[in-house]
Chain A
Amino acid sequence: MQTKSTQPTVSVLEDTSEPQRAEAPCLVIGPRKSWLDLDLRSIYVYRELLYFLVWRDVKVRYKQASIGATWAILQPVLTMLVFTIIFGKFAKMPSDGLPYPIFAYTALLPWNYFAQAISQSGSSVVRNSNLISKVYFPRLIMPIASTLTPLVDFAIAFIILVGMMVWYGITPTWGVLALPLFLLLAMLTAVAVCLFLSALNVQYRDVEHAIPFLVQFWMYASPVVYSVHIVPEKWRALYSLNPMVGVMEGFRWALLGRVHPDFVVMIVSAAAVVLLLFGGLIYFRRMERTFADVI
């Protein structure tokens, strides 16, 4: 769909209460011409809807769970305990000279966020099929909303990390200022993957069944239980094509203050995210044209 307006489209949503209005913006609906027409501005126009969708999901999620937000803490903490016992104590995984629990938890934070986001992503469009066939809004909002919702759990689980850092007496260095950057990297990775999975799932409902497997597989392909440094140097650049490698390495560096970060890993990961995101946007926009017809 193509939007050409004589004024910025923003004005379409702006509240103009005067009945007598200047020439209304003209919207042209027709087949989309370019595959590069990503129309990202429409997301800004519909930002309130994005907010409401996230707000709804968060609200509904905690309304029915009897212990509510505790889940957001229990899940990573219990996983950390299991990992510490199995990989830390039994398998004696090297942990870059850090206490294993905090070593694992620092990576579990972004990992849980990512896993939650992509687990929901598959169904993010299909779940809203009643909306898609009945009302217009930029479809991109759905996968984006499903990657924003798990941030709430992330924030709650983050408090535990702060507690652990105090307990282990780890003072963050200046590197901690770069943390939002790595969180952004994780979010963009999640959005990119969600774009692919949610659009695919509209066509092929099998995708939903494949996602749990994908999540599991992806975890072992990311340095959650082990350190990036056990991967041989010559393979590391290739390994970092998995953007979550850069994210976790970044989290550990920013929070636990190791001396030198592996810049190769981070640059490769960041580049991979950009490519993945761009591809995801093009693919999603291509597929979304038929959503209402297929769903």
Chain B
Amino acid sequence: MNDIAIQAEGLSKLYRIGALQRCNTLRDQIVHGIKGVFQRKAQSDSIWALKDVSFNVKRGEAIGLIGRNGAGKSTLLKILSRITEPTSGQVKIRGRVGSLLEVGTGFHSELTGRENIYMSGALLGMTKRETDRKFDDIVSFAEVGKFIDTPVKRYSSGMYTRLAFAVAAHLDTEILLVDEVLAVGDAAFQKKCLGQMEKAAHKQGRTVVFVSHNMAAIENLCTSALLLDDGRIVRRGATPQVIGHYLETVLPALVQGMPLSERVDRTGTGTVQFSSFHVEDAQGNRLAAVRSGMDVVFVFGYQCRDGEKPKDVDVGFSLTSGKGQMLCVLYSSYLGQYFNGLSGSGFVRCRVPKFPFPPGRYSVGARVVVAGEESDWPRNWVAFLDVEGGDFYGSGSGGFGSATPYLLSGEWSADGSWK
């Protein structure tokens, strides 16, 4: 009679920054307590991960949660799945909830596949009877066959992931909460999982809440979407419109609205931090956009913490397509290069000959690692890179355009001889 499955009213979640720090020791606490006697501090070191979020999800609706890192998506999902409690507000949930925030929850390497299926099933809220009934389906879905009585520590990582996901995919609840768990496993299996989820959402009429950075997956799976930013709902509606708003307004505003050096959405020790990013051509001219096929130089401005001369600095960047698919990652260490002479501020450059991607807008991510430890990682891209059509093939042909994500060059021959 009531066709609303999830009804959230005024949800807020306050995190104390202190509580986020790990390895809180008793000694720290005592020291802190003594300090506290002398200086009364207001609650300035706290952040609202969610602020007054209200929404309804109808029974049978598949809704995608999107937003940049730190927008509150995961917090919302954790509240819905009862992992953490909201600071205020409440959610009414009608129906059994299954949450899939991780693949292989509760798996133990010493136990066999069979034993892990039961263990994981129990954790996800399946009764033993239910697991018994679905056992054969799970095994055949996972394609582990005769290895079912082998300890999972002897499984290949592919088998492990397949088995882990198979258990979760057979979770038969009215409401399914799914975090970015599909980012694992090989492509074929990913597709199978997505298919299984689509089946759940469309055919079985289950309510699905799906969090992902993969816009294509959201578009496929979800009829509507919810855009979160800074812990608030920015937009709610049909999936294509919400995704469009996110890609065209929210993300650029964040990335371009503030100099890289001032952004706080980053993690790492801060020994070396990114302060700017731009692209140049091979002659050192600064570019607003690049062309496919040209030699592109990626220029990362850095700033070392005062007086530090870091050693073994490894700088890397990634390119991600507009649809959220990561296309490539290149760290200097992949090429055996580490920087040892950095100090103060300056630029690190990476020259990419014959830029192999078709026209479009790409997101550039960057991360710097010092002596194996993450030093700086701006969590929401450092910039966007606009690519225009160019003479990639050196023949004037535009090739397949933007229909394929990657441009491959080669040489053809009919008689086995090469130029």
Contact = CB atoms under 8 A, between A and B. Distances in A.
A131 interface: yes
A31 B85 contact: yes
Question: Which of A15, A29, A292 is packed against the most chain B CB atoms within 10 Å?
Answer: A29
Contacts of B89: 30
Interface in B147-199: 174
Contacts of A26: 92-94
A237 interface: no
Contact of B110 (A1, A63, A290): A63
Interface string B89-107: 1111111110101100110
Contact of A12 (B20, B85, B96): B96
Interface stretch (B125-133, B321-329, B350-358): B125-133
B102 A204 contact: no
A206 B26 contact: yes
Nearest to B82: A136
A34 interface: no
Contact of B2 (A13, A15, A23, A130): A23
A24 B94 contact: yes
Contacts of A218: none
A137 B119 CA distance: 13
A31 B82 CA distance: 11
B184 to A, nearest CB: 14
Interface in A244-295: 289-290, 292-294
Interface in B201-226: none
A56 interface: yes
A86 to B, nearest CB: 35
A134 interface: yes
Interface in B67-116: 78-97, 99, 101-102, 105-106, 108, 110-111, 115
A28 B85 CA distance: 11
A143 B87 CA distance: 26
Contacts of B87: 31
Interface string B15-36: 1000110011111010000000
A82 B359 CA distance: 80
B177 to A, nearest CB: 10
B371 interface: no
A59 interface: yes
Nearest to B13: A293
B91 A13 contact: no
A294 B24 CA distance: 9
Nearest to A25: B94
Interface residues of A, number: 42
B289 interface: no
B54 to A, nearest CB: 13
Contacts of A292: 78, 83-84
Given A52-B119, A59-B115, A293-B19, A131 B93 contact: no
B122 interface: yes
Given A31-B85, A49-B122, A292-B83, A60 B93 contact: no
A130 to B, nearest CB: 7
A56 B119 contact: yes
Contacts of B123: 49, 52, 131, 135, 137
A160 B314 CA distance: 61
B392 interface: no
B57 to A, nearest CB: 14
Contacts of A13: 125, 127
B106 A64 contact: no
A31 B84 CA distance: 10
Contacts of A132: 83
Given A28-B92, A131-B106, A205 B25 contact: yes
B122 A136 contact: no
Nearest to A137: B123
A79 interface: no
A59 B24 contact: no
A203 interface: yes
B124 A31 contact: no
A133 interface: yes
B288 interface: no
A15 B129 CA distance: 8
A52 B118 contact: yes
Contacts of B92: 26-29
A18 interface: no
Contacts of A134: 83, 101-102, 105
Interface string A171-186: 0000000000000000
Interface of A: 1, 12-15, 23-32, 48-49, 51-52, 56, 59-60, 63-64, 130-137, 203-207, 289-290, 292-294
Given A29-B91, A137-B125, 13 more contacts: A12-B96, A23-B2, A24-B96, A31-B86, A56-B119, A131-B106, A134-B102, A135-B101, A135-B105, A135-B123, A136-B82, A136-B99, A205-B25
6 contacts: A24-B95, A130-B102, A131-B105, A134-B105, A205-B23, A292-B78
